[in-house]
């Protein structure tokens, strides 16, 4: 079952074309990822700092389907999948929720790929057990 | 009565010192301002685009009292005050809410000053009535 | 011939893992795109505002190959290709330049896809001639 | 003698009002600060990570005098002043350089205050000698 994260589009997210700057869609997905990890009991402060093992984003793809404006409400679904003992992907769908004048619409489809490595020599290493369990449970 | 806005610190808000980048405290305050306007029925999309009248931030001051880390929960109070028919200030307090290991603490005190101007010639002009009412009502 | 853009990694680009936040690699590429357009005599202020025609990023893919830290110098190559009369892709390579202790290395490979549409009805429309010439000339 | 830093306004710096988002003026100043430190031989990667001593921004004030748009060229002067053995301020002036249609104008005046503390107990501690020398030399 995918986790769903909701948030509002802020003025700082937009650019001079009047809509959300494209790279910020990826940040919204990362926020959703963080909330999902936290809901699973994983401590974010430790998880995202360098403590011997880091799990950087190795790849991202994004299809930007619709513009988003300041004040829009969005919902993001987060669906991880195991790739190997040291890697996983996450699929996200960003939906603009129905507003006063606009119907609900799919706004973007994003995928990120994450690889677990040792920070000293950047060699691949198995996911920590709590994270491997989280990938499997979603 | 001051409005209160809550949000979580995201990974994207932090910098290589492991804590929130100083300029992002100002963005958090602007988010709180947006939510307060929206709660008063003001349409954000229109309000923050250029439609003849713009109300830019003319001045900001910020005292950064405590670091914030990814996963911290914060609450921001928003308190506007009229300065003149064409200007107002907003006082914000950013409080880090109590976490598993950390007590509740004041994290920053911020003030912004906003001036209403015509976008064609940048001459000062009176606040739109809905906004003047919002400044008075808080 | 690809255009090359150089810039330094700023503290604001980094996150609590001590390296550049993944979504910011895409912003660096957009900066390179902007500089290339400007070098071709295209006015950025007009180009990126909504004046009837907009050319949003419709898709992005990024392979993040190496971390970047505050102070690193990078070079980005920008190579556009026509896809159709109303669309083009841009291929970017981000290279970390040699530093005091680190050799030159490819840090990321990014592609963006851009589609020209009318902002009133979002129907596809042909690229403006100056932009079509830019795509062909690079 | 004040150091001067030049940069171009990027699309990502702007918001839906068509101009630079207010908090980003502070980031531009921090970039200028970084470049000045680097020009003095201070290693940025080490300086801005937590290695026992951190020098966070404790206070900022900013007067936003003029809007900036995508493609504008700006110059920022950086002028530090010692406050005490463990603190200094930096005064910045952001000037929009003359463009095709616009004359040179002062765009913002910013001040930041920096305090040197131990990261373990957050007690104030004297500036490292290289930094104290930098403050004095500018």
Nearest-CA distance from B27 to chain A in Å?
Answer: 7
In the predicted structure, residue B16 carries a pLDDT above the cut 90: yes
Mean residue pLDDT of chain C comes to 94
Q: Exactly one of B15, B50, B72, B120 is catalytic; which is it? A: B15
**Contacts for D51 with CB less than 8 Å, ≥ 6 apart:** none
| Cα separation, A22 vs A13, whole angstroms | 9
- Provide mean pLDDT across the span C47-68: 92
Please tell me the predicted confidence (pLDDT) of residue A1: 55
- Provide mean pLDDT across the span A28-54: 91
| Cα separation, C15 vs B21, whole angstroms | 9
Out of B98-112, C69-83, D81-95, pick the least confident: B98-112
| Cα separation, C88 vs C124, whole angstroms | 13
Which pair of structure tokens corresponds to residue B27?
């963005």
Q: Do A71 and B27 touch (CB under 8 A)?
A: no
Q: Do C50 and A23 touch (CB under 8 A)?
A: no
Please tell me the predicted confidence (pLDDT) of residue C1: 55
> Which alpha helices (DSSP H) does chain B contain, by range?
22-39, 44-47, 129-137
In the predicted structure, residue A48 carries a pLDDT above the cut 90: no
Classified as helix, coil or strand, B67 is: coil
Please tell me the predicted confidence (pLDDT) of residue B1: 56
Please tell me the predicted confidence (pLDDT) of residue D132: 94
Interface test with C, best of D56, D70, D73 (most C CBs within 10 A): D70
Residues above pLDDT 90, as percent of chain A: 83
The more confident residue out of A58 and B119 is: A58
Please tell me the predicted confidence (pLDDT) of residue D46: 85
Q: Do A18 and B49 touch (CB under 8 A)?
A: yes
- Provide mean pLDDT across the span B46-75: 93
Nearest-CA distance from B26 to chain D in Å?
Answer: 6
Task: Give yes or no: D120 in active site.
Answer: no
In the predicted structure, residue A50 carries a pLDDT above the cut 80: no
Q: Are C90 and C35 in contact (CB under 8 A)?
A: no
Q: Can you tell me which residue has the tokens 């005599």?
A: C41
Decide if D56 touches B, using CB distance below 8 A.
Answer: yes
| Cα separation, D125 vs D54, whole angstroms | 10
Out of B45-59, B69-83, C123-137, pick the least confident: B45-59
Question: Which chains would you list as touching A if contact means 3+ CB atom pairs under 8 Å?
Answer: B, C, D
Mean residue pLDDT of chain A comes to 94
Please tell me the predicted confidence (pLDDT) of residue A39: 93
Using 50, 70 and 90 to split pLDDT, how confident is the model at C138? confident
Q: Are B22 and D59 in contact (CB under 8 A)?
A: no
Nearest-CA distance from B55 to chain A in Å?
Answer: 13
- Provide mean pLDDT across the span C55-62: 97
Residues above pLDDT 90, as percent of chain C: 83
* Type and span of the H or E element at C110: strand C105-115
Minimum Cα–Cα distance from A31: chain B residue: B10
Please tell me the predicted confidence (pLDDT) of residue D49: 78
Smallest Cα–Cα separation from D90: which of D35, D14, D24? D35
ipTM of the complex: 0.95
- Distances B137 to B48, B81, C4, D12 between C-alpha atoms, Å: 20, 10, 54, 35
**Residues from chain D contacting residue C8 (CB–CB below 8 Å):** 34-35, 38
Using CB atoms, pick whichever of B8, B11, B48 lies closest to residue A70. Answer: B48
- Tens of pLDDT along A11-23? 999 999 999 999 9
- Tens of pLDDT along D45-94? 888 877 789 999 999 999 999 999 999 999 999 999 999 999 999 999 99
- Tens of pLDDT along D1-60? 578 999 999 999 999 999 999 999 999 999 999 999 999 999 998 888 777 899 999 999
| Cα separation, C88 vs A127, whole angstroms | 39
Question: Which chains would you list as touching B if contact means 3+ CB atom pairs under 8 Å?
Answer: A, C, D
| Cα separation, C12 vs C23, whole angstroms | 13
**How long is chain C?**
138
Using CB atoms, pick whichever of C15, C23, C70 lies closest to residue B14. Answer: C15
Out of B107-116, C49-58, C87-96, D72-81, pick the least confident: C49-58
The more confident residue out of A112 and B138 is: A112
- Provide mean pLDDT across the span B46-72: 93
Minimum Cα–Cα distance from B20: chain D residue: D56
Q: Can you tell me which residue has the tokens 């980094």?
A: C14
């Amino acid at each position: 079952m995918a986790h769903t994260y909701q948030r509002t589009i802020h003025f700082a997210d937009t650019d001079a074309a009047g809509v959300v700057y494209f790279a910020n869609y990826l940040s919204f997905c990362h926020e959703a990822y963080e909330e999902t990890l936290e809901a699973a009991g994983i401590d974010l402060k430790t998880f995202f700092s360098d403590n011997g093992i880091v799990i950087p984003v190795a790849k991202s793809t994004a299809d930007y389907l619709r513009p988003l404006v300041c004040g829009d409400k969005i919902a993001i679904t987060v669906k991880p999948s195991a790739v190997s003992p040291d890697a996983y992907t996450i699929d996200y769908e960003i939906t603009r929720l129905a507003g006063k004048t606009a119907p609900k619409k799919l706004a973007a489809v994003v995928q990120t790929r994450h690889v677990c490595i040792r920070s000293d020599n950047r060699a691949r290493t198995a996911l920590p057990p709590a994270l491997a369990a989280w990938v499997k449970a979603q």
